[in-house]
Amino acid sequence: MIKAVALMAALSASFAALHTAPSDASALNAKCLLVMDGVTRLDDRCSFTSNGETDSFSDERLLVVCPDGRPVQTSDCFGYQMRVARNGVYGFLQREGSAARLCWNTGNMRNAQACFDGLIQKGDCWQSIASRSLGRGTMHKLKFCAWDD
Q: HEC profile for 22-74? A: CCCHHHCCEEEEEEECCEEEEEEEEEEEEECCEEEEECCCCEEECCCCCEHHH
Domain spans of the chain?
10-148
Does this model's pTM top 0.85? My answer is no
Model confidence pLDDT, tens digit, residues 91-127: 999 988 888 999 999 999 998 988 888 899 999 899 9
Model confidence pLDDT, tens digit, residues 31-49: 999 999 999 999 999 999 9
